[in-house]
Structure 1
Amino acid sequence: MKTPWLKTVIAVAAGALSTQALAAGFALNEQSISGMGTSFAGRSSSADDATTLFGNPAGMARLKREEVSFGVAALHAKTDIKNSSGTFSGPAVGGQTVPYGGSNDGDMVPFTAVPMGYYVKPIDDKWAVGVGVYVPFGLATDYESGYEGRYFGDYSEVAVITVQPTVSYRFNEKLSIGFGPTINHIEGELQSASPGGAAGDGRVKVTGDDTALGFNAGLLYEFTPHTRAGITYHSKVKYKLEGDTKLSGAGFDQYAAAGIQVSGKYDASLDLDTPESIDVSITHDLNDQWTLYAGAMWTRWSRFEAIIIENEGIPAIVGGNLDPIVEDQDWHDTWSYAIGAAYKLNRNWTLRTGLAFDQSPTNNVHRSPRIPSGDRTAISFGLAWNPTDDVTVDLAYTYLQEEEVDVSRSRSYQNGALVANYDATFENSAHGFGAALSYRF
């Protein structure tokens, strides 16, 4: 029992912490389809449309007309799993190493679509206000029934939905600032198996949610009418997830014969801080047709040092009261880098492309099959169509390839009498798609 509970809660945190476009765990973090076309190079300096409310709220001051933008991003991912093995060891199996069965199909990420929407209204030459709704963090993994790594997590679904009212102010022709508080709601559902001996596996299902506040702030400086630079700060958000752990299945039902009720629901909570990030970028209009972008983002993943779980009432026969549980994570701070370009064919059509490199915050010691990610490289292509001066349709495509990484997990059950082990090599890739419609009043 102890390990599945711990792993499912860790997966809530890891999924919630997944950031960047198509990032670790294949989180969807697309807040701008126009930005997606350049791999988010220039995200804090381009200020081309209402999606700048997220990329850099100071950029709203550059918009000349009232604008609304709606979009959707989707992900189709593929995972190759090889060199896998699952074994039990310890006194419960006579001190030997005994293999257990399971599959490794690797089709763990369902096709997922995430919506976004923005509204910006210039008040005068200096002030602009707006509001955005977007998904900054998310995770969806669903391994097949009987997955070999099921004792370390076989189902995860986590999402953070954010509402951001925002204001910007333009001091002069060069300097603008912007600020927006964020209202963030997180929900998660995670499942894993628990070995129950001859009776069969039990199942652990954890659900929880919370709402918390943060903020985004940005500064935009225009060196010339053709060159501008931006910096955006996304604050950490402090959550306290409240929910329950549900134990079910033959592995837990078997204790009823001894008069001990194990199957059922138990109160659970988790304190979690999502990390702050700083995005810097530069945009340069080379001429009337070409625009160049470059950017970098730093994320303070080192905040994620350990998970501390508080829960109540779990019977000692399946692992003690587990109050609290502490497991080190030791994630490290990361940088992501991107370059991009846009080419304006004519007044109606614009082509975009970009290349990005993202570091993974995970390490070989603590990497989980829920988040089996490594450093990644992405290439993107985008297209903007302006049928009129009032309407823009943006389309984008991203291909992402991750480095090959190893997962090696060992956890104790039955107060140390049984140890489950899982080793495998993962290689992930993904196709991202995006479409958006912007209308100017």
Structure 2
Amino acid sequence: MNVIGPKINVPLWALVFSVLVNSFGTQAALVENLTMGNAKALSLGNAVTADPPSIDSIHYNPAGLAKLKGRQLNLKVLAASMEFEVAFGGHDDKTRQILDGFEYHDEAAHRTSKTSTIGLRLPYDEGVTEWPLPVLIMPMGGASYSPPGSDVTFATAAYAPMAAGYIREDEDDPARFMGEYMSMATITYFSPSIGVQLTEHWSVGASINFSWQGVTAGTSIRVPNIALAWGELLTRRLQEQNACPAQDDPMPLANLCGLDQSLARMGPYTNATQLEFDAESGLVAGINIGALWQPNDWFTWGVVYQFERKANLDGTYRLTYHDEWVNFFGGLHQSNLGQGINFLLPFPDGQVDSPHGRGIEYGKAEIEIITPAHFSTGISLQAAPRWKLNIDVKWTDWGVWDGLSVSFDQPLDFTKLATLVSAYSELTELTIPRHYKSVWNWAFGVEYQYNDNLALRFGYEPRKSSIPDDKQDVLLPVGDAELFGFGVEYTMRNDRLLEVALGYVHAEASVPANTSTNANSSDDFNNFIYNPYAGTDFSSQMNAYLLEVSYSAPF
């Protein structure tokens, strides 16, 4: 952000969205359902639309609540660990020529970033909190009630349909230019729901869920765009030829050399600024509806639809511009040329006299986040007396993310630049196109009834990413993923039920140089997205390890 040269505004205006939009986009097929804490769903690869799990039917298919009679209690615990790794390679020919020709050094090249440190965005507590344990532990639960002789069941539960976060602790971590820390979460704290047994073969259900939603992110910024190289070269030549205005001149005609000519110039691989953003909403409402059809004892068909929901997250932002930004734009602003430009249109002033501190912009912002509609249908087939097979097919409408907007409480230095070149920017609002895609996914689960008390389960879910290959980035590795689940169910006396599941998720992506407009494009003129690894190969992977324990009993 604290950058110089005629094209610095190109990657700048998309900065906030690069962090925020990708943060929320990663839930598409990576962390969705992984933190629900339901052992049955995990062990069956989330193929439970026609075989919904007890009180968590609220989320997976509310029609399943109709099977619960009397008063039922469910308590569960999730233990999760995640590892994120990004390996950077070399450069394409164009980028290598720029590095060699201008004698730049790319500190990220041929290095690896790896972290398993858990960072959490907690409700009503700003910023990221480092979890003190290597494993995230979350207790959850719910209860249901069906009056004697009634075909109606009422229920509510607390659960976390989405939660993820990390902290990259090394100060020189090569991935810090796309996330020093990041955490996002949705926690449903109240979910009044109903399931109704309409006929012998049909049941329906609905739930209204009230959730808290939050996000926090912090990242270092650099802008490896050729325009910065030429801008730095221009300043260097002016200094070498003594063409800069005198340092004691209070109002020079033009000043492209900065307030203090002894300071380092801004280049494409200079750490430009620090961005921190934090936002939340305490009330986000959603609706789930579902149905079950069981014409006989060996076949069940289920369907669920989770409606699109919108959340307006209120929060704060902080931009800390480095000396190079303050020096360049501060010097230009205090010249006749800068004053003339500023008379015609708003122009950056370098935040020299910022009330929050030199080079600091701080204020309030609002971002609208859409959680897209989700549809799932599936069958549960009792293939043999001891064998049951579940198959689901799912669709999530991430195609609605053509673009998002964020509103600021004041014009910012970088929005003043953005309005000059982008139709997506206004002084207090930014919009960025995302062009995500709606995806279909499968899920498979098998259950073997070992004896009257013990059942064994195995599940597999290939989780296709909703982020196209040309939008991959480093913030979270969100390539296509695979979920493997294994679990057991043990029925105890008095209809008490203990379920335990283990899950493993692996996601990876390989992104050759100049293939992603969100991370490593070499197109200096048409790439308007924050692009910190221009012309650099990288690959990423995520490994998640899950343990979920559930206890259900009448009370």
On whether the aligned pair clears a TM of 0.5, the verdict is yes
1:209 maps to which of 248, 261, 280: 280
> What residue is the counterpart of 2:156 in the other structure?
131
> What residue is the counterpart of 1:143 in the other structure?
168
Is 1:310 aligned to residue 310 of structure 2? Answer: no
Pairing 1:115-130 to 2, within 5 Å after superposition: 115-123=139-147, 124-130=149-155
> What residue is the counterpart of 1:54 in the other structure?
59
> What residue is the counterpart of 2:444 in the other structure?
339
One-letter code of the match for 1:157?
Answer: S
Pairing 1:20-35 to 2, within 5 Å after superposition: 23-24=29-30, 28-35=34-41
One-letter code of the match for 2:353?
Answer: G
Aligned partners of 1:18 and 1:139 also within 8 Å = no
1:40 maps to which of 46, 50, 57: 46
CA deviations on 1:277-336 (whole Å, 9 max, x unpaired) are 011111122344222211111100101112222213354279648532222211101112
CA distance, structure 2, for counterparts of residue 217 and residue 26 of structure 1: 18
Task: Kindly indicate which of the two structures has a greater share of residues assigned to strand.
Answer: 1
More displaced 10-residue stretch of structure 1: 111-120 or 249-258: 249-258
More displaced 10-residue stretch of structure 1: 401-410 or 359-368: 401-410
More displaced 10-residue stretch of structure 1: 147-156 or 176-185: 147-156
Structure 2 residue matching 1:267: 3-state secondary structure: strand
Pairing 1:38-437 to 2, within 5 Å after superposition: 38-41=44-47, 43-84=48-89, 96=102, 98-102=104-108, 104-107=112-115, 110=118, 111-123=135-147, 124-145=149-170, 146-162=172-188, 163-195=190-222, 198=264, 202-210=273-281, 211-248=283-320, 250-251=322-323, 258-260=352-354, 261-313=358-410, 315-316=412-413, 320=417, 323-406=428-511, 408-409=519-520, 420-422=532-534, 423=536, 424-437=538-551
CA distance, structure 2, for counterparts of residue 156 and residue 369 of structure 1: 12
Structure 2 residue matching 1:365: 3-state secondary structure: helix
TM-superposed deviation, 1:7 = 4.2
CA deviations on 1:180-226 (whole Å, 9 max, x unpaired) are 11212211111011349849653211011122222000011111123
Cα distance 1:317–1:209, how it changes in 2: closer, same or farther (>3 A)? Answer: closer
CA distance, structure 1, for counterparts of residue 414 and residue 486 of structure 2: 56
Cα distance 1:5–1:355, how it changes in 2: closer, same or farther (>3 A)? Answer: same
Structure 1 residue matching 2:493: 3-state secondary structure: coil
Aligned partners of 1:186 and 1:209 also within 8 Å = yes
Aligned partners of 2:168 and 2:181 also within 8 Å = yes
Cα distance 1:268–1:164, how it changes in 2: closer, same or farther (>3 A)? Answer: same
For structure 2, the residue ranges without an aligned partner over 5 or more in a row are 2-8, 119-134, 224-262, 266-270, 331-349, 419-426
Aligned partners of 1:4 and 1:193 also within 8 Å = no
Task: Kindly indicate which of the two structures has a greater share of residues assigned to helix.
Answer: 2
Count the aligned residue pairs: 433
CA deviations on 1:88-116 (whole Å, 9 max, x unpaired) are 98xx9998372332453222563433443
Aligned partners of 2:44 and 2:458 also within 8 Å = yes
Cα distance 1:420–1:318, how it changes in 2: closer, same or farther (>3 A)? Answer: farther
Cα distance 1:313–1:96, how it changes in 2: closer, same or farther (>3 A)? Answer: farther
CA distance, structure 1, for counterparts of residue 91 and residue 274 of structure 2: 18
Query: Please, what is the CA RMSD of the aligned residues?
Result: 3.3
CA distance, structure 1, for counterparts of residue 55 and residue 31 of structure 2: 28
CA distance, structure 1, for counterparts of residue 321 and residue 200 of structure 2: 66
CA distance, structure 1, for counterparts of residue 275 and residue 75 of structure 2: 38
TM-superposed deviation, 1:121 = 1.1
Aligned partners of 1:74 and 1:432 also within 8 Å = yes
CA distance, structure 1, for counterparts of residue 12 and residue 90 of structure 2: 18
TM-superposed deviation, 1:69 = 1.1
More displaced 10-residue stretch of structure 1: 150-159 or 193-202: 193-202
Structure 2 residue matching 1:404: 3-state secondary structure: strand
Cα distance 1:38–1:175, how it changes in 2: closer, same or farther (>3 A)? Answer: same
Is 1:15 aligned to residue 23 of structure 2? Answer: yes
TM-superposed deviation, 1:420 = 4.1
Structure 2 residue matching 1:98: 3-state secondary structure: coil
Cα distance 1:180–1:419, how it changes in 2: closer, same or farther (>3 A)? Answer: closer
Aligned partners of 1:341 and 1:352 also within 8 Å = yes
CA distance, structure 1, for counterparts of residue 466 and residue 415 of structure 2: 32
Aligned partners of 2:381 and 2:388 also within 8 Å = yes
TM-superposed deviation, 1:122 = 1.4
Equivalent pairs: percent with the same residue? 17
CA distance, structure 2, for counterparts of residue 242 and residue 48 of structure 1: 35
One-letter code of the match for 2:403?
Answer: A
Cα distance 1:201–1:17, how it changes in 2: closer, same or farther (>3 A)? Answer: closer
Larger Rg: 2
Cα distance 1:105–1:433, how it changes in 2: closer, same or farther (>3 A)? Answer: same
For structure 1, the residue ranges without an aligned partner over 5 or more in a row are none
